[in-house]
Amino acid sequence: MSETNTTNQHVSFLKYQGKYKGLLGWILSTDHKRVGLLYLYTMLVFFSTAAILGLLMKLELIAPGMTIMGPQTYNAMFTVHGIIMIFIIVVPGLPAVFGNFFLPLMIGAKDVAFPRLNLLSWWVYVIGILTVLSSQFIGGWPDTGWTFYAPYSFRTPVNILPALFGAFILGFSSILTGINFIVTMHRMRCPGMTWFKMPLFPWTLYATAWIQVLATPVIGITLLLTVMERVMGVGIFNPAMGGDPILYQHLFWIYSHPAVYIMILPGMGVISEILPVFSRKRIYGYKAIVLSSLAIAFVGYFVWGHHMFTSGMSGRALYAFSFLTFLVAIPSAIKVFNWVSTMYKGSLNLQTPFYWAVSFIFVFMIGGLTGLVLGSLATNVHVHDTHFVVAHFHFIVFGGTGFSFMAALHYWFPKMFGRMYDRTWANTGWVIFFSGFLTLYLPMFYLGILGMPRRYYDYLPEFHGGNIISSLGAIAMIAGILIVFVNLIRSSRHGEKVTEKNPWGGRTLEWQTDTPPTLENWETEPTVTEQPYEYK
Amino acid sequence: MSQEKQHISSYTSHFVVLITLIILTGISVAVTRVEMGPLNTLVAMIIAGAKASVVLAWFMHLKFDNKLFAIFTALVLVIFLLVLYVTFFDYSYR
Amino acid sequence: MEKITEHTAHVHRDDEGDKLGMWLFIFTELLLFGMLFLIYAVYRYKNPVAFQLGGEELDVFLGTLNTVILLISSATVAMSITAMQKGEKTKALILLGTTLFIAVVFLINKWFEWGAKIDYGLYPNSENLLELGHGTTLFFGLYYVMSGIHALHILIGIGLFVFVYRQIMVNKINKTDYVWLENVGLYWHLVDLIWIFLFPLFYLIH
């Protein structure tokens, strides 16, 4: 069986010809690298779609009153924007793309533990996306917000079922990826790769995979119950039948808060990979980062209530959740200190991935610190459901996951495609994106504190100034995204060829194999003797 | 690397486990007729917990398999119970 | 777990890894049902009397019968693994067949149980149920949802047993390679595990 492939050595996985040719060779490939790229391309399409929806919303908000769309359209826009961005982009995001591509490479394995399951999870993902999108054709776009809160979700006249089912199916994909990664890391590390010699990106993927396995079923059953509520009238979340809509919120956030850590943890892993390479220094506090990742994953289960401070929960619960929320901030802060200490007295190599990584730390800190404002009870009541919250979670979700995704893309790009992007354009794109990002979201903190509520297509005239700045920032940011994407897409086909194995001088295993990697990653199974990031 | 030595449970041991489980079920049904107030639920849950542990340990082989599986199972159980506990911070004091 | 694939040429067999994967899947199931139990706990806490009265409506005999046969089926599937490990193929098939048969009987019992309730007019959103008040509505809502999802798992289990039975027939599952049988067994024990808790929580409320 393996004889067929010995002749194919040194053939890049991009060129490899298997049983199927062309497109089929990709969508039926169980090679972890191809599956990773399939996810990347799918996400590129849907990220662009949802980003355009976001831009349209900001254009609507550029002036008070109806500018380009009415209230119902606006409701549909933020719902679909949220569903796509959360369930299709950031939750699978880094694990599905870079986890699939680099996890086996970084731990010296030939593939993930269940390659077929891996391909299946991409297919399930696509089916989930199609189900969500089918709502356009059967009963109109959902308009409940991506949270599907009861009782909106079974009262709204539009057909919400495709969106609910779609999110349910996407959950399956996430679970399959999680199971696959945990087994891969337990069973397939190469000789010498002990747990504490594993690079940090795999470690964060490990913590993430556990959350995927243990939290995703919660949203699965919650969405299923909402479907049953709507179809059969079971009454579980329906206050008219004795149900408790706040219980829906509990269940929803028991998943969706850990999901925030699904989004951010791999991002933290990426940053922990990039900073040592571009500082030419070993990572500061390797074990602290590992343990804080696991701590975040664990404590992150018990803080969901801070999304519900104004829902009418008991006072005792409010205190408990507020306390736990402050607790979970500690491991995140530990990581920030570690990253800064890693750069301290390093010989910095100022390249595009490094820029993205440093700006990640910056936006992540703003997002994290404003999170504390929301985590304390008194201030939360003031800014709850205002644009302050919107700005906060965009700093964390977009700033955190988005920036680390871009950092990862620019860092691993040469390894993935065997070509280098145009560095000048890459840096230009970063500058425009970053300044657009800040111009877009910083005013929203201010607007939120003034009291501008979220999820309305209209606002009082006194909020006009801030909204103009914010909308202009959105245009700048989209321009930045465009530059980055065009540069990367162009370079993946026409960029300068890279053949050296290790263009950045990284110490982790993925830089020891061919560029781009061959079908089974390794000529001979690698052996690990030292810690990752041992720069001398 | 995969063929570690497998523990083979005997038919007899499975049979003994089954009888234990059925007896526990019987006790669980019988004890319902005894009036103990809220303690009834507690007793029912303790018996169910005992049955579940027996199933996990013998039928699901946790007792003989890699200890990792048992540790993970315990961890999952702890997380679930903590989630339940934290949820009742809301409901018991509302 | 699978053999050759087109693009991943390396054939690696790792029974331990396959079992770990199965256990992780079981954890997702445990949490899925766990959340249903959480909902149950909340509503029972809020409506203790209605839940007790609702529980008394259920047929303890049928419930106990189903519990016992499900336990027996768990034992038979465990024994069929023992038989497979010892290389006694016929015995393994007989034991597996017994499990399959019991699974079907369980569903038939369930069918009659649900049928009787529905004849009484006790089903989600029925007028009778709504008249009985909020607590009872929730009790029966949860009863149908939880035992329904459990029954769905039984149905999937039946499918898996048929598949595994065929694999044993054609010797794909054999004395040295039986991890599929083990994993299906684990799945079935999970189904049993859930029922162990469903049974006292619905049928034995006092």
pLDDT tens track for A319-350: 999 999 999 999 999 999 999 999 999 999 99
Domain that holds residue B83: 66-94
pLDDT tens track for B12-60: 999 999 999 999 999 999 999 888 888 899 999 999 999 999 999 999 9
Place of tokens 């049974």: C199
Place of tokens 């507020």: A322
Are the beta carbons of A305 and B82 separated by less than 8 Å? no
CB of B78 within 8 Å of any CB in chain C?
no
Provide CB contacts within 8 A for A508, sequence distance 6+: A106, A199, A273, A532, A533
Domain that holds residue C157: 15-203
Report helix, strand and coil shares of chain C as percent, to nearest 5.
80, 0, 20
* φ and ψ of A185, to 5 deg: -70, -30
**Is C139 inside any structural domain?**
yes
Are the beta carbons of A313 and B94 separated by less than 8 Å? yes
Q: Reply yes or no on whether the pLDDT at A519 is more than 90.
A: no
Q: Which secondary structure element, helix H or strand E, spans residue C95, and what is its range? A: helix C89-119
Give the pLDDT score at A97: 97
Report the CATH number at residue A294: 1.20.210.10
Q: What percentage of chain A reaches a pLDDT higher than 70?
A: 98
**Is C6 inside any structural domain?**
no
**Is B16 inside any structural domain?**
yes
Q: What is the mean pLDDT of residues A380-397?
A: 96
pLDDT tens track for B60-93: 999 999 999 999 999 999 999 999 999 999 999 9
pLDDT top residue among A3 and A316: A316
Question: Distance from first CA to last CA of chain C, Å, rounded?
Answer: 47
**Is A482 inside any structural domain?**
yes
CB of B89 within 8 Å of any CB in chain A?
yes
Place of tokens 């038989």: C83
B-chain residues near A317 (CB < 8 A):
86, 89-90, 93
Are the beta carbons of A182 and C20 separated by less than 8 Å? yes
Q: Reply yes or no on whether the pLDDT at A8 is more than 80.
A: no
Q: How far does the CA of residue B40 sit from the closest CA of chain C (Å)?
A: 7
**Is B13 inside any structural domain?**
yes
DSSP, residue by residue, B30-59: HHTTS--TTHHHHHHHHHHHHHHHHIIIII
Q: Reply yes or no on whether the pLDDT at B3 is more than 50.
A: no
Average pLDDT of every residue of chain A: 93
The answer to whether A205 touches A213, Cβ cutoff 8 Å, is no
Domain that holds residue A223: 30-512
| Residues B79 and B41 reside in one and the same domain | no
Q: How remote is the C-alpha of C192 from its chain's centroid?
A: 5
Burial class (CB in 10 A: 0-12, 13-18, 19+), A73: middle
* φ and ψ of A385, to 5 deg: 55, 30
Q: How many CB atoms lie within 10 A of CB A155?
A: 12
Q: How far does the CA of residue A269 sit from the closest CA of chain C (Å)?
A: 23
pLDDT tens track for A229-287: 999 989 899 999 999 999 999 999 999 999 999 999 999 999 999 999 999 999 999 99
And the tokens for C161?
A: 């047993």
**Is A1 inside any structural domain?**
no
**A316's torsion region: left (phi>0), alpha (psi -120 to 50) or beta?**
alpha
Give SS3 for A453. strand
| Residues B55 and B73 reside in one and the same domain | no
Q: What is the mean pLDDT of residues A38-50?
A: 96
Report the CATH number at residue C48: 1.20.120.80
CB of C12 within 8 Å of any CB in chain A?
yes
Helix runs in A62-199, H state only: 71-83, 93-94, 100-106, 115-133, 152-155, 161-187
Q: How far does the CA of residue C19 sit from the closest CA of chain B (Å)?
A: 9
Give SS3 for A419. strand
Give the pLDDT score at A360: 97
> Which residue of C79, C81, C197 is in closest CB contact with B48?
C197
Give the pLDDT score at C7: 39
**Is A530 inside any structural domain?**
no
Q: Reply yes or no on whether the pLDDT at A536 is more than 80.
A: no
Give the pLDDT score at A447: 97
As for how many domains chain A has, the answer is 1
**Is B2 inside any structural domain?**
no
As for how many domains chain C has, the answer is 1
And the tokens for B11?
A: 């038919």
Give the pLDDT score at C11: 55
Give the pLDDT score at B36: 85
**Is A453 inside any structural domain?**
yes
Give pLDDT < 70 ranges for chain C: 1-11
**Is A25 inside any structural domain?**
no
Are the beta carbons of A302 and B83 separated by less than 8 Å? yes
Q: How remote is the C-alpha of A347 from its chain's centroid?
A: 30
User: Is the ipTM here above 0.90?
Assistant: yes
